[in-house]
Amino acid sequence: MSDELYIQRCLELAAKGMGNVSPNPMVGCVVVYEGKIIGEGYHQKFGEAHAEVNAINDVFTNFGDEAPSLLKNAIAYVNLEPCAHFGKTPPCADLLVKHQLKKVVIGNTDPFSGVNGKGIEKLKAAGIVVVTGVLVDECSYLNRRFFTRIEQQRPFIILKWAQTANGYFAPKDATQKWISGSEAKQLTHQWRSEEDAIVVGKQTALIDNPQLTARNVEGKNPIRIVIDSNLAIPETHHVYNDEAKTIVFNEIKTDVINNIHFVQMEDMQFYLAQKIAFQLYLMDIQSVIIEGGAQILSQFITANLWDEARIFTSKTEWNDGIKAPSIKGNILETLQIGADELTIYSPYSQK
């Protein structure tokens, strides 16, 4: 087996942490002795053991007293550079040094200032052979949320909406009218469980009274972000219930009442998308879905503040309505979800 295959296994393991490790990256680790995997692990939950710790522990679970001698002749594979700093847990680079592994193969270096080459330096200083740059693109893609937050000082921003076949987004008369089908709704709930937060504007909250939870799937609810400058949404609406933390960006007050966090912003009619992105970054929110309405979505598009757009197009046609936002980007994927077509766009040119 090649280095690429073991790093691919790291990515499979790492992905199991989706939705549970933010604002940390998703990391998997595989320990190999004489061509056989003797231990593996992944970062399962923020604040808990990192991938390397779980993989080393797995070796001890599998081999007991033999583990120390096996580790001295083993290779560790990890999709992201082992950390070199004390955070919620001790440095993983120190753990690999302690057990005297002969070689460490790494996918991405870690751009976080507390690591960024320091983990590799520690390993090399201890006489461990280090190989980097294996499946770089695949590793970067898995942790695109983490890299965006570290490198651009903002969360990874996903735009999501449904539109009719002839490009309408919502009725003009402020009534609630479903566009996409039940399969699309189920997938939307899965997406919510994978991201840190979800954003809606005042009109969407007033008209649709959405719960903004991941109730149809197993997984955590995202933090609900509501844009309501004059606090017009009644407290009887779902966004004010206790099912998830809710942040209300407004121009009136800053306060915390149980799970509801009111955050005051000035001049919300100017640079709103930029202000939201920066506030969420300060709150350690690594990824966010912007679900509506059309005006909020358009502001993020105009500000060029988006990393992925997920658009459901139904077969239904309407005679009239509010037009869906206009977006230009590279199509990453087109999928059939029930009766609806899902198109996923990226603003970046693909390699």
- Alpha-carbon distances of 23 from 88, 149, 309, 349, rounded to whole Å: 12, 9, 21, 26
Which is catalytic among the residues 52, 81, 194, 308?
Answer: 52
Determine which of 165-179, 190-204, 301-315 has the lowest per-residue pLDDT on average. Answer: 165-179
Question: In the predicted model, what is the mean pLDDT of residues 189-213?
Answer: 96
For the chain, give the percent of residues with pLDDT over 90. 90
Does residue 333 have an active-site annotation? no
**Residue 112, pLDDT above cutoff 90:** no
pLDDT at 1: 59
Residue ranges of the annotated binding site are: 50, 83, 92, 162, 178, 192, 204, 208, 212, 215, 229, 291
Mean pLDDT computed over every residue of the chain: 95
Binding site feature residues for NADP(+): 162, 178, 204, 208, 229
Which of residues 83 and 88 earns the better pLDDT score?
A: 83
Task: Establish whether the linkage from the previous residue to 201 is cis, with ω within 30° of 0.
Answer: no
68 has pLDDT over 90: yes
> b/e string for 9-31 if b means 16 or more Cβ within 10 A?
bbbebbeebebbbbbbbbbbbbb
pLDDT score at 110: 85
CA distance 290 to 277: 11
Q: What is the pLDDT of residues 118-164, one digit of tens each?
A: 999 999 999 999 999 999 999 999 999 999 999 999 999 999 999 99
Any residues with CB less than 8 A from the CB of 89 and at least 6 apart, and which? Answer: 47, 48, 49, 50, 53
pLDDT band at 114 (very low <50, low <70, confident <90, very high): low
Indicate if the pLDDT at residue 175 is higher than 90.
no
**Is the predicted pLDDT of residue 84 greater than 90, yes or no?**
no
Residue 281, phi then psi, degrees to nearest 5? -60, -45
User: What does the pLDDT read at residue 291?
Assistant: 94
Q: How many CA atoms lie within 13 A of 265 on its CB side?
A: 25
Task: Give me 226's structure tokens.
Answer: 């509501």
pTM summary value: 0.93
Dump pLDDT digits (tens) for 186-200: 999 999 999 999 999
pLDDT digits (tens, 9 = 90+) for 244-300: 999 999 999 999 999 999 999 999 999 999 999 999 999 999 999 999 889 999 999
Mean pLDDT in residue range 222-237: 97
What's the rounded mean pLDDT across residues 72-94? 89
In this structure, are residues 185 and 216 in contact, taking their beta carbons and an 8 Å threshold? yes
Residue 108 scores a pLDDT above 60: yes
pLDDT of residue 328: 93
The whole-number pLDDT of residue 4 equals 97
What integer is the mean pLDDT of 98-111?
94
Binding-site residues for Zn(2+) sit at 50, 83, 92
Check residue 350 and give its pLDDT.
59
Tell whether the model's pLDDT for residue 342 goes beyond 90: yes
The answer to whether the Cα torsion of 135, 138, 143, 144 is positive or negative is positive
